[in-house]
Amino acid sequence: MSEVSHNYEKEVQEIIDIMEDKKAQDIKVYDMRGKSPFFDYSILCTGSSSRNIEAIATDIKKSLENVKNVEGLEEANWVLIDAGDLVISVFSKDARDYYRLDDFYNGVNEENEETE
């Protein structure tokens, strides 16, 4: 169903599954192990509406044991979940286009990807 089919750790795969179950779009996982001293994975997705974004973020938050902070849930435009080794961003399409985090992470996974 999704292009995200690598062999990730169980917790990362659970987040991907929640995103897919909630119909999140454009799911991307950036493997930051050895590249960032702050976290191991950054997971991004786009929700179809503020209600959808809130539902995705709420379910992810419930599934994680180590949530340190959640920002943006009230506005549901860009919800950022800090779960220690995982940083999860659930965007509206406009916010994702505006903040362009995918551009920031561009090239991070290149040595791990073979083909699309």
For residue 110, what pLDDT is reported? 81
The answer to whether 80 and 92 are in contact (CB under 8 A) is: no
Q: How crowded is residue 48: how many other Cβ atoms within 10 Å of its Cβ?
A: 14
For the chain, the domains span 10-102
pLDDT at 47 over 80: yes
Give the CATH architecture of domain 10-102.
2-Layer Sandwich (3.30)
**Segment 11-38, tens digit of pLDDT:** 999 999 999 999 999 999 999 999 999 9
Helix (H, G, I), strand (E, B) or coil at 78: strand
**Segment 56-101, tens digit of pLDDT:** 999 999 999 899 999 999 999 999 999 999 999 999 999 999 999 9
Separation of alpha carbons 27 and 34, rounded Å: 22
DSSP state of 19: H
pTM: 0.88
What is the CA angle 38-50-76, rounded to 5? 35
Provide the pLDDT confidence category of residue 116 given band limits of 50, 70 and 90: very low
